[in-house]
Structure 1
């Protein structure tokens, strides 16, 4: 099994892959179109990336590539549609960086409240300004609003309780019942969080539903002087709307991510919001702690090990949630070569496509049962043709 690691990756992860018998190539410096060229040259079975963009040309150049592992949680840097069109699994390592991201989120919250970076800058410039900085709202007893109550959001909320804050939350799947179990106040919409919270921390996945979630309406709903923290993705925030709230309402922002942030490790970056007073920014480093990267590397190795041993893909993000299947064909049969081929041939000749299938072998390996989801119910004469094979024990069809 050939594995290409095309990004920064812990040494423990590389050694773990080699211990599985993988032929590992590490090229953390490859950038842009060169990644597609490298994939075409090496023809790996598995590609591991951290922050690199994996675009359609990479998949077009691939031959044996069967899986892309995102060594992290978000996978918006990978063209999932292009991977799916070529039957390539995309998987990730969710939850392994949750504590690291939560820690940075709290660093940004504290920076907003106490303006710590501003104080450091003045001290480094040789200026003492206690008069300016000897005032802050403080956090105890105030309201923390968490938008996205996944693993990262829960870690942020947990630390909020330690600061004595009241916690409210909105999440796509959050119900009042689950909110009660999580000990958070339930908000039916993100706007409700914006209206009620003094500090808002955003930790949602980047997709079409969350694009510019923080928009003009959201910013209009913010309390004057509220703090907005974004450690998810830059696409979640309409930066022009947030910048206007910063200027007009005294809102402060702690941002680890930006709309048009550079893809590489170093670059010039002239961002109006990053340069604005009242904004405390970091360089998309939420997951960048040794602890988090070791945990992510171990998870990537576990994904590869499971794939090698069982063929199963842990944390796969591009398995279809629904298919065009309308019926399920159940075939009990003797566990012999050619029986399923007989069933498939008859269905194929009739133009019926198999969408999903599993095959269970019974104890003793003398018999098996296949559940075959198809896009069209087989006609009675097709069922008769399937039953004509002496190794077929029974055939039934049911609608889905």
Structure 2
């Protein structure tokens, strides 16, 4: 299996891919048209990227089978185009959770103690203990979490270690899960904003979250609150945040921005970082050696499992539901041609197979096939399938909701 790695990747991961029998091509600088050209020239089965964008032109440049995002999100990949082309998209969730949580807390503490301003004044030859000796302190302050996946969950024990109670909102958060984590569940991001001294955002970027934290949200923030975003820049309305910084004394720690440069270096000067009380880092949340080693190991595991079994761990673009309206369950003797005959009956009737599996019983004498079909299986078709010498029984189960 040929693997093109088009981003910075741990040497241990490259070695592990080679040990797994892969032909590895390492092109960490390939971006934009250069990446299209590399995919066309190398014709890889698998493409591994980290922050490199993978648009439709890259996906169409060669018969790719799998794109692995060596990270938690996958918004840099045109997943819709991959789905149209039958290309799996996978990612490495949870492997950078601790690293991002560590940076989020570093930003919280830095805002409270105004660490960056302290450093800047010292470097400029200014001693101003009178100004910088006014920190509020974090003990007893309420931390609000928006998003409670792997990273958000990693924030909870760190908050408790600082003596900070936690309130949280997530679409998937249940009362039971909130109780297990020791947090208070609230019903909306606005409720988080109203209840907290510090808000930290841990959302994936998708159609539901893009621009979710808008002017209405920032209007609910307490005056002087701290706001941390280490998720994606596009989940917030940056202009609304800037207004909250100017008008309400909000302090912001931002590791992510909209329209960031694609590579590791470049010109970039978002206006919000010029505001007093805004600290910015360079989208480095996952950039610890520990996290990158864990992510490389997971990416290698995904490729190895795919090469050995044809299945893809952590796949993100398989349909959650299909148009299938019934399931045909066929118990049969495990002999050549049985399923081919059944599928021929279904095909000649103009019905579309959505999914199917065939499970063999112990001993290898018999098997059961489950075929999900879009359309109605008439009694005559069931009889035609049942008429095969090696078919033991046929059952049709209605798959439409009651």
TM-score, normalising length: structure 1: 0.98
Does 2:148 match 1:160? no
* In structure 1, distance between residues paired with 2:259 and 2:274: 14
Asked if the contact 1:5/1:28 (under 8 Å) is kept, the reply is: yes
Q: CA deviation at 1:388?
A: 2.2
* In structure 2, distance between residues paired with 1:290 and 1:124: 29
Does 2:28 match 1:28? yes
Does 2:56 match 1:56? yes
Does 2:78 match 1:107? no
For residue 84 of structure 2, what is the aligned residue in structure 1? 85
For residue 233 of structure 1, what is the aligned residue in structure 2? 232
Asked if the contact 2:67/2:87 (under 8 Å) is kept, the reply is: yes
Asked if the contact 1:334/1:392 (under 8 Å) is kept, the reply is: yes
Asked if the contact 1:335/1:361 (under 8 Å) is kept, the reply is: yes
Q: CA deviation at 1:86?
A: 1.0
Does 2:242 match 1:243? yes
* In structure 2, distance between residues paired with 1:262 and 1:332: 57
Does 2:283 match 1:292? no
Q: CA deviation at 1:399?
A: 0.4
Q: CA deviation at 1:329?
A: 0.4
- SS state at 2:71 partner: coil
- SS state at 1:192 partner: helix
Q: CA deviation at 1:132?
A: 1.4
Asked if the contact 2:156/2:181 (under 8 Å) is kept, the reply is: no
Asked if the contact 1:226/1:250 (under 8 Å) is kept, the reply is: yes
1:207-235 Cα offsets, whole Å, 9 max, x none, are: 01111121001000000000110000011
For residue 251 of structure 2, what is the aligned residue in structure 1? 252
Q: CA deviation at 1:351?
A: 1.2
1:261-310 Cα offsets, whole Å, 9 max, x none, are: 11111111121112221111000010000000000011111111211222
* In structure 1, distance between residues paired with 2:5 and 2:15: 12
For residue 368 of structure 2, what is the aligned residue in structure 1? 369
Does 2:46 match 1:46? yes
Q: CA deviation at 1:151?
A: 1.1
* In structure 2, distance between residues paired with 1:346 and 1:74: 43
Asked if the contact 1:9/1:297 (under 8 Å) is kept, the reply is: yes
Q: Which runs of 5+ in 2 are unaligned?
A: none
Asked if the contact 1:227/1:252 (under 8 Å) is kept, the reply is: yes
For residue 142 of structure 2, what is the aligned residue in structure 1? 143
Asked if the contact 2:253/2:279 (under 8 Å) is kept, the reply is: yes
Asked if the contact 1:377/1:397 (under 8 Å) is kept, the reply is: no
Does 2:221 match 1:222? yes
For residue 198 of structure 1, what is the aligned residue in structure 2? 197
* In structure 2, distance between residues paired with 1:27 and 1:62: 16
Asked if the contact 1:200/1:228 (under 8 Å) is kept, the reply is: yes
* In structure 2, distance between residues paired with 1:209 and 1:158: 27
For residue 15 of structure 2, what is the aligned residue in structure 1? 15
* In structure 1, distance between residues paired with 2:20 and 2:216: 52
Q: CA deviation at 1:387?
A: 1.8
* In structure 1, distance between residues paired with 2:267 and 2:16: 36
For residue 353 of structure 2, what is the aligned residue in structure 1? 354
Match runs of 1:263-278 below 5 Å: 263-278=262-277
Asked if the contact 2:305/2:313 (under 8 Å) is kept, the reply is: yes
Q: CA deviation at 1:176?
A: 2.0
* In structure 1, distance between residues paired with 2:57 and 2:373: 32
1:55-106 Cα offsets, whole Å, 9 max, x none, are: 101111122x111110010100001111111111100101000010001001
**Equivalent residues, number:** 399
- SS state at 1:359 partner: strand
1:34-59 Cα offsets, whole Å, 9 max, x none, are: 21221111111111000001110111
Q: CA deviation at 1:177?
A: 2.4
TM-score, normalising length: structure 2: 0.98
* In structure 2, distance between residues paired with 1:327 and 1:371: 10
* In structure 2, distance between residues paired with 1:168 and 1:330: 48
For residue 380 of structure 1, what is the aligned residue in structure 2? 379
* In structure 2, distance between residues paired with 1:74 and 1:276: 29
For residue 6 of structure 1, what is the aligned residue in structure 2? 6
* In structure 1, distance between residues paired with 2:66 and 2:338: 30
Asked if the contact 1:144/1:168 (under 8 Å) is kept, the reply is: yes
Q: Which runs of 5+ in 1 are unaligned?
A: none
For residue 304 of structure 2, what is the aligned residue in structure 1? 305
- SS state at 2:14 partner: helix
For residue 391 of structure 2, what is the aligned residue in structure 1? 392
Q: CA deviation at 1:325?
A: 0.7
